[in-house]
Amino acid sequence: MSNRPNILWYCTDQQRFDTIAGLGNEHINTPNLDRFLSESATFTHTYCQSPICTPSRSSFLSGMYPSAIGVNGNGYATFPKHHEDRLISHILQNEGYDCGLIGKLHLASAFLRRENRVDDGYSYFQYSHDHKGGNEIGNEYLEWIKQQGYDHTQILRARDILSVKDYRNSHNKKNFGGFIEPTEKQDNVPPHLHQTHWCTEKTIEFINRNRGKDQPWMLSINPFDPHPPFDAPYKYYQHYNPDQMPGAHFRDGDLAHQQKLTDAGIDFQNVPRHPDDIQHKHLQASYYAMIQFIDDEFGRILDYLDETNQRENTIIIFMSDHGETLGDHGLLLKGCRFYEGLVRVPLMISWLGHIESQVSDELVELTDLVPTLYDLLDIKIPAHVQGKSLTPILTDATITTPHREYVRCEHYGATNYPDNTHATMYRDKRWKLVVYHNKGLMELYDLENDPWEHNDLSNNADYQQIKWELVQRSYDATVNAHPIQTDEYGPF
């Protein structure tokens, strides 16, 4: 057996933090994640560094802020080649790991194509950005459907986004972010042909493939779900009654606040509407069903590691790249907002016999994952890494020193919308400050008394002192997010 553990890194797409039954959501079924919860270190206050896919993934795969790695949004032609050696997969390959990827990569644009790659370290590469129609060239999932004897054009529904104009009007595109209700006779993509299932089939294939004697492996698994559209298979959707869903977090006044931000031109993928106008409980039912499907498939992987006696020698990470507004505040999808449902994600890390099982409410950034892996693998943390290793908490659940005083998130023109909005979020244990730069607009939330952020205190006379203290701290954090000199050759 290898002296170093295997690494199985399961990253869902657009999954909120509050979608695991074992952490208090009584409306969703996640038995396998609940089981995993009892075997892992689970962090309930984990934040992505951008609420958009590519900058978030570039960030957590390098341990750097999006602005520091130079990937601030979706749509890049390619990941910066001069930073390919900062990707954890590249480094692990150099350390002797057999590295594989299944599903999304999204370090560069996947618009109507298989995205361009740098030397990312993956020798096993089963690429599929999503389970929509189109993108046929290089989409290994579509080829797999054909191998099962099916016509993929009859199984998959087109996304219907063929231009920048389509994208900017995506709130009108049902196949992009809408609700598509399945029935027993008229299903969405059925489970046995779904990309989420394909990811598991390819995972088992990768685990079993030939590799060097005692060679460790690292596998990155990236299903597209529960990314919208909300199109769960009927097998899972039937377990959720929309009328019994709790629905979006929404109060009177939310729409007026969102309209103020919209009037300022601040970018977002959807227009604010009353949750009832977007069938928010149906959306939530489908979203939860999609996550239950993921839970089943993740459970299959855990079982296979147990059956092949590899579980104890495998670090397992379960997480998501960012969340989903899901009707909260009258919003759907993502963009330049920093509400908890959008920037706070699940994070669970397991290595039986090495990581203590616990549930921690410490503030965590996704930048912390790369330095944590370096620590666990006894690799020196490179100077460019900006995250903070979680190893002290993972190995000692009684530790009382705070992991972080704050977390931060960026949106620097991250979506292909006209405004190219720049905004930053600074959040400590109690307060969240959002600054919409060049707009003269801020948001201030007391998360202790207003956890779902309905009461913006930024213009309240009683909170000006704390606001300006947070502005200074946020400015310092933004300056400190710039990369330091990383070349250690000499003093001049």
Q: What φ, ψ does residue 235 adopt, rounded to 5°?
A: -55, -35
3-state secondary structure of 342: helix
Radius of gyration of the chain (CA): 22
Angle between helices 140-147 and 195-208 (to 10 degrees): 90
3-state secondary structure of 103: strand
Q: What's the pLDDT at 1?
A: 40
Give every CB contact of residue 469 below 8 A, 6+ residues apart in sequence: none
3-state secondary structure of 474: helix
Q: What φ, ψ does residue 94 adopt, rounded to 5°?
A: -65, -25
Give every CB contact of residue 173 below 8 A, 6+ residues apart in sequence: 159, 160, 161, 166
Q: Tokens for 460?
A: 């309240």
Cα–Cα distance measured from residue 212 to residue 305, given in angstroms and rounded to the nearest whole number: 19
Among residues 109, 115, 132, 100, the alpha carbon closest in space to that of 53 is found at 109
Kindly tell me the burial class for residue 1, based on how many C-beta atoms sit within 10 Å of its own C-beta (0-12, 13-18, 19 or more).
exposed
Give every CB contact of residue 141 below 8 A, 6+ residues apart in sequence: 103, 126, 128, 131, 195, 198
- Cα dihedral 412, 414, 417, 418, rounded to 10, equals 20
Cα–Cα distance measured from residue 208 to residue 210, given in angstroms and rounded to the nearest whole number: 7
Query: What strand order describes the sheet that includes 431-436?
Result: 407-412, 422-427, 431-436, 441-446
Domains and CATH numbers, the chain: 6-405 (3.40.720.10)
3-state secondary structure of 20: coil
Give every CB contact of residue 224 below 8 A, 6+ residues apart in sequence: 13, 103, 104, 128, 129, 130, 131, 195, 196
Among residues 225, 75, 92, 88, the alpha carbon closest in space to that of 164 is found at 75
pLDDT truncated to tens, each residue of the chain (492 aa)? 458 999 999 999 999 999 999 999 999 999 999 999 999 999 999 999 999 999 999 999 999 999 999 999 999 999 999 999 999 999 999 999 999 999 999 999 999 889 999 999 999 999 999 998 765 688 999 999 999 999 998 999 888 888 888 888 888 888 889 999 999 999 999 999 999 999 999 999 999 999 988 999 999 999 999 999 999 999 999 999 999 999 999 999 999 999 999 999 999 999 999 999 999 999 999 999 999 999 999 999 999 999 999 999 999 999 999 999 999 999 999 999 999 999 999 999 999 999 999 999 999 999 999 999 999 999 999 999 999 999 999 998 888 899 999 999 999 999 989 999 999 999 999 999 999 999 999 999 999 999 999 999 999 999 999 999 999 999 999 999 998 776 666 666
Among residues 170, 166, 176, 168, the alpha carbon closest in space to that of 133 is found at 176
Kindly tell me the burial class for residue 327, based on how many C-beta atoms sit within 10 Å of its own C-beta (0-12, 13-18, 19 or more).
buried
Cα–Cα distance measured from residue 434 to residue 444, given in angstroms and rounded to the nearest whole number: 7
Among residues 402, 401, 408, the alpha carbon closest in space to that of 386 is found at 408
Report if pTM > 0.95.
yes
DSSP state of 428: -
Cα–Cα distance measured from residue 445 to residue 452, given in angstroms and rounded to the nearest whole number: 9
Q: Taking a C-beta distance cutoff of 8 angstroms, is the pair 474, 435 a contact?
A: yes
Q: Please state whether beta strands 344-345 and 41-47 pair in parallel, antiparallel, or not at all (unpaired).
A: antiparallel
Q: Taking a C-beta distance cutoff of 8 angstroms, is the pair 17, 323 a contact?
A: yes
What's the full length of the chain, in residues? Answer: 492
Sign, CA torsion 341/362/224/306: negative
23-47: string of b/e by CB count within 10 Å (b at 16+)?
A: bebebbbbebbeebbebbbbbbbbb
Secondary structure string (H, E, C) spanning 395-427? HCCCCCCCCCCCEEEEEECCCCCCCCCEEEEEE
